[in-house]
Amino acid sequence: MLFSSAAGPMVNLASTSQSTFTPQLQSLETLSSVAASIKVPVLEDPTWLQQQNAAEAAQKKNNNATKTVTYSVTSKGAITADMAEFKAQANATLNDSRGWARLGVTFQEVSSGGMFTLVLSEASQMTSFSSGCGTEYSCRAGRYVVINQDRWLGATSSWNQAGGSLRDYRHMVINHETGHWLGHDHESCGGPGQAAPVMQQQSISLQGCSFNPWPIATELWSTQLGIDKR
């Protein structure tokens, strides 16, 4: 393009622009080429940090793994409750996503043996499992998770007066006694109005807590299975 003015002769702008910027463009290309050839050094974590990261990754993998816990079901004494219903509801409770399944485990009923035995017992037969078992409530004795038939059929006055349903009581008593097998001792109410820990003796007293059939976050561990998800 030619441009003229009263102040001077015509100038070829296209030619002037090309001759002016060509050296600059060449310099940029050279810098870009040099930058591309530079290798950024790779900084490795110190050995102690590598080992810590590896241990944490292994623990996370272990915690996320699903472990199968097997159990068998039996009864003792004169049973008037529906055993098929007992088996079905117990299995539903144990594998409920609100319960001990949050440990990353699946509970599987087997015909015999298993890791523990779930028992529906006539009240008068409860003491035959252990001197620590009484005829009024359920208990755990060694490998036996023993549910008192009277409690299975009618819950307790403490639970009923608080407005808890029979199905929720059954959830709670299965979770509570299985919790003992998992390695838990009894817990106490954390404060008025709070959800009771499932390991609280809610059959006896809510201690100011609200009834709760499921393990709370701080109860998500098991010494029996070597799992801790707290």
How many Cβ atoms from other residues are within 10 Å of residue 10's Cβ?
A: 9
92-115 pLDDT, tens digit per residue, is: 999 999 999 999 999 999 999 999
CA 183, CA 216: separation in Å to the nearest integer? 15
196-209 pLDDT, tens digit per residue, is: 999 999 999 999 99
- Range with the lowest mean pLDDT among 18-22, 63-67, 116-120? 18-22
Q: Is the pLDDT of residue 61 over 60?
A: no
Q: Is the pLDDT of residue 227 over 80?
A: yes
- Per-residue pLDDT at 66: 80
21-48 pLDDT, tens digit per residue, is: 566 666 667 766 766 667 666 677 777 6
116-154 pLDDT, tens digit per residue, is: 999 999 999 999 999 999 999 999 999 999 999 999 999
- Per-residue pLDDT at 64: 56
Structural domain boundaries in the chain: 61-228
How many Cβ atoms from other residues are within 10 Å of residue 190's Cβ?
A: 16
Closest CA to 123 of 145, 142, 90, 151: 151
Residues in the chain: 230
- Report the mean per-residue pLDDT for the chain: 86
Closest CA to 149 of 162, 161, 136, 159: 136
CATH topology of domain 61-228: Collagenase (Catalytic Domain) (3.40.390)
HSE (side-chain half, CA atoms, 13 Å) at 184: 27
CA 3, CA 49: separation in Å to the nearest integer? 69
| Structure-model confidence comparison of residues 59 and 208, the more confident one | 208
Q: Is the pLDDT of residue 193 over 70?
A: yes
Q: Is the pLDDT of residue 163 over 70?
A: yes
Closest CA to 174 of 82, 104, 107: 107
